[in-house]
Amino acid sequence: LQTRLQAGQGYGNTLNCVLTVYRNESVAGFFKGMSFPLASIAVYSSVVFGVFSNTQRLLSQLRHGDPSRTPALADVALASTVAGFISVGIGTPVDLVKIRLQMQTQPYIEANIKLKPTVPGFPVYRGPIHCFRTVLQKEGIAGIYRGVGAMLLRDVPGYCLYFIPYTFFCGWITPDGCISPNPSSIWLAGGVAGAISWGTATPMDVVKSRLQADGVYLNKYKGTLDCILQSYQNEGLKVFFRGITVNAVRGFPMSSAMFLGYELSLKAMKRDQTETNP
């Protein structure tokens, strides 16, 4: 839904998009492009949370000589920025493949692809591997990392508005005297942080989606700035808030689960280390 609303045409609001996709593509239409992100999400999340956590520990070690010391707000912000930069290297190719597949509104038909390989309505990609290989062959590394500038502008501030609110709300919700937050506090703080982060990242998410969808059939945009200018000239300021409802709504449960899994995993590993090395 997010990709169709941001990069597609004629979908209107979220409900209209849901009905249109279901009417034209049935339930399968809602799961297009899912396999590649599903296969890579574990690696992606591990890298992002690992970079964030280890950067915080490194900063605490350098500042205070104690890696386990609670980091200052400035350290959280710096660790979030580093995690945002690293995430783009992994996330850009994954997002590109997902969006290219999602922007194809018809099932792959080999006969049609031979006759009209670049006409809208006749998909050019048979699946995630074929999509990745085709983009790499035709557009090179630059094609695989199309939209990387917009993704940097989305993810670097986006992760700051992800980890900082989480740290703040987690500390605020956790009762005084507790050494660590309980699962319900983690769940709520993670959900609020996710909604804030995805909501505020929507404008650059729109630009990124449009840049990465560009090239399936046509090449409309020359770069990030050109995409921003064309989108604004053609559709006004409101275009940069397309999909904000979907982003904010999906951000809550997704981030709740992510932070809960992260914190519980850390607790489990620390407990195992304590039992192994008393």
Token pair for 13: 């609001």
User: pLDDT at position 269, please?
Assistant: 78
pLDDT at 113 over 60: no
pLDDT at 89 over 50: yes
pLDDT at 189 over 80: yes
This prediction has a pTM of: 0.80
Residues 150 and 269 in one domain: yes
50-59, 104-113, 133-142, 178-187, range with the lowest pLDDT: 104-113
Neighbours of 249 (CB within 10 A): 15
Percent of the chain with pLDDT over 70: 82
Residues 175 and 270 in one domain: yes
First to last CA, the chain: 51
Q: Which has the higher per-residue pLDDT, 179 or 45?
A: 45
pLDDT, mean over the chain: 82
Residues 128 and 228 in one domain: no
Query: What range defines the domain where residue 228 resides?
Result: 146-277
Residues 150 and 273 in one domain: yes
Total domains present in the chain? 2
| 16 band by pLDDT with thresholds 50, 70 and 90 | confident
